[in-house]
Structure 1
Amino acid sequence: MKLVLFIVAISLPGIFLMVINEKKLIKDFLPDEKIPSFWSRLLNHLIMTVPFVILGIFFYSRAGFTNLTFTGINGTSLLLSLVCALIHVAYYYGYFIRNVDKVTIDRVEHSRKLLGILTRLFYGGIVEEVIFRFGLMSFFVWLGNLVIDNQLVSLWSGNLLAAILFALVHLPSIYQMKVKVTKTILIYSNSMNIMVGLVCGWLYWSEGLAASILCHMLFHLVWYFFEKIKKTRRLASRQAKTEA
């Protein structure tokens, strides 16, 4: 029971931030829809999170995991997390932005701005890891162990399944932005989220939940850093044109 309360407790900041900021998303992207009350949104996120906490508690050790402690943050997990984040940044700015229309880019970046970096860090970094790695991956690996007589195959199968589901649950938010959903958008969203999911899953398996949370947080933090650089350059360019 203490462990359940602890996992729920570390998830609460992200849940509260999402509940507060998703109101802005609904208002901007779905203006014709009635915005649910604060308490309805809070209850919705608790219903989406708590069952996976219980799922993780029940299946974690049964799946063969042993590193639940928050001591798995080390040089290896930090380096792998940074590499994952930088690969995404290179893909986003080097390919995605150049192959998607400006309206879509503006809406995608506006949605991130509305959520804010803290929501992305604490909801994405903690709540999503609790749901998809601690809950779902633990269950899938346990299930794999029942039908596959190979621990390594069970681990990677469970990791891949959790990563695919992680990618798929992000698709509705794309359609809610009311943008033209192209093959480029779908390939980018699914491939990047599966990549991040697989890396987080491997760290969860090898180093523990803290390492997967670190990876997911750095994904958003590095992206935010490059957003700020881009914004600074854009403002400097506008100022230079104005002065000229």
Structure 2
Amino acid sequence: MSSPSDSATADETPSVDSDRGSFLRRVLALFALGLLGIAALGMTLATQLGTTPLPPGVDLPLSLLVAASLIPNTLLLLVAVVVGAYCAPRAGFRSHVDERVARGTPLLSNLRSELSTAVGVGLAAGVAIVGFDAAAALVVPEVAQLHGGGATPSVAELLATVPLRFLYGGIVEELLLRWGLVSLLVYLGWRLLGTGVGPSEGVVWAGILIAAVAFGVGHLPALLGTADSLGIPVSPGLVARTVLLNAVGGVAFGWLFWRRSLEAAMVGHAASHAVLVGSSVLAILL
């Protein structure tokens, strides 16, 4: 497993510091980074809960409701960070934050060399998602109904979602899916198949694709809820479109994680949301 430039090859897998204190510091550093996204989610939930009538019998302060709602996401983040801290270096993946804590390597200078690739891949993924969605609306009637259904948000409302998209999407989802899930899948695949000193490209791609599809499938409950509220039948085409659009990003960010770093995947994820928000703003204004 190799990167064309600065990522470690299979024969040069980063040394794994087995010291328990170092492991804990690495976990805490990435968990603290993820808490930025959890905070953004909390602000979004506070806004939503503050404008939604509570169920009968529920009489709790808004702060407690938000805190309780964040517990599952926070615990899942912690598990993913712990799993990644163990599996990622062993599978040849890297994080500049992780390496900074473990070995004192420079963070910003290493990331700076990856920014152009990360932004370019992220923007391309965003354009592909918008393009595939527009094409799906032409051939799947339910997708066109989904686009035309519901209230159109204002530009201000749309821009208010940017912190959640960039911080929760860009940071937390990358920690969950790339640092946690991809690292685990690739590490287990490598150990089970015994493909030499490092995971083969096939094992890596399998991990990336499985995580990408899993992310797409994870969006189906939200799709079902939205479609039901709008009276739109959930057709196979609508389901396939939802899984595909989310998997496109997962493959792009997985490649960045493999060939560059976790932080490059985060930057790429955020860049894709810049395209998605920009296209939505244009649709509102035009």
TM-score range (shorter-chain normalised) is 0.7 to 0.9
Counterparts of 1:28 and 1:188, CA distance in 2: 31
Instruction: Please report how far the alpha carbon of residue 58 of structure 1 lies from its aligned counterpart in structure 2 after TM superposition.
Output: 1.0
Alignment CA distance shift 1:87-1:104 (3 Å): closer
In structure 2, list runs of 5 or more residues that go unmatched: 1-23, 97-106
In structure 2, C-alpha distance between the alignment counterparts of 1:28 and 1:212, rounded to whole Å: 34
Equivalent residue in structure 1 for 2:249, among 196, 210, 217: 196
Q: Compute the displacement of 1:206 (Å).
A: 0.5
* Secondary structure of residue in 2 paired with 1:61: helix
Q: Is the Cα–Cα contact under 8 Å of residues 133 and 245 in structure 2 kept in the other structure?
A: no
Instruction: Tell me: CA distance 1:158–1:60, structure 2 relative to 1, closer, same or farther (3 Å).
Output: same
Judged with a 3 Å threshold, the aligned counterparts in structure 2 of structure 1 residues 160 and 30 are, in CA distance, closer, same or farther, namely: farther
Which residue number in structure 2 is paired with residue 136 of structure 1? Answer: 181
Which residues in structure 2 correspond to 1:157-176 (within 5 Å)?
A: 157-176=206-225
Whether 1:68 and 2:113 are equivalent positions in the alignment is no
The CA distance in 2 between the partners of 1:31 and 1:103, in whole Å, is: 28
Q: Deviations over 1:198-234 (max 9, x none)?
A: 111111010001111112111111110111112122x
Q: Tell me the equivalent position of 1:16.
A: 39
Letter in 1 for 2:132: Y
Greater Cα radius of gyration, structure 1 or 2: 2
- The answer (yes or no) to whether the contact 2:88–2:183 under 8 Å persists in 1 is yes
**Comparing 36-45 and 185-194, the one that deviates more:** 36-45
Deviation of 1:26 (Å): 7.0
Q: What RMSD over aligned residues (CA atoms) do the two structures have, in Å? A: 2.9
For residue 125 of structure 1, what is the aligned residue in structure 2? 170
Report the count of equivalent residues: 231
Q: 129-138 or 151-160, which moves further after superposition?
A: 151-160
Which position in structure 2 is the counterpart of 1:89? 130
Q: Which runs of 5+ in 1 are unaligned?
A: 234-244
Instruction: Tell me which moved more, 157-166 or 26-35.
Output: 26-35
Give the drift of 1:138: 0.4
> CA–CA distance in 2 between the matches of 1:212 and 1:141?
17
- Quote the Cα distance in structure 2 between the aligned partners of 1:164 and 1:27: 34
Q: Percent identity?
A: 23
TM-score by length of 1: 0.82
2:276 aligned partner, one-letter code: W
Q: Pick which of 189-198 and 149-158 moved more.
A: 149-158
Which amino acid in 1 is paired with 2:85? I
Match of 1:216 in 2: 269
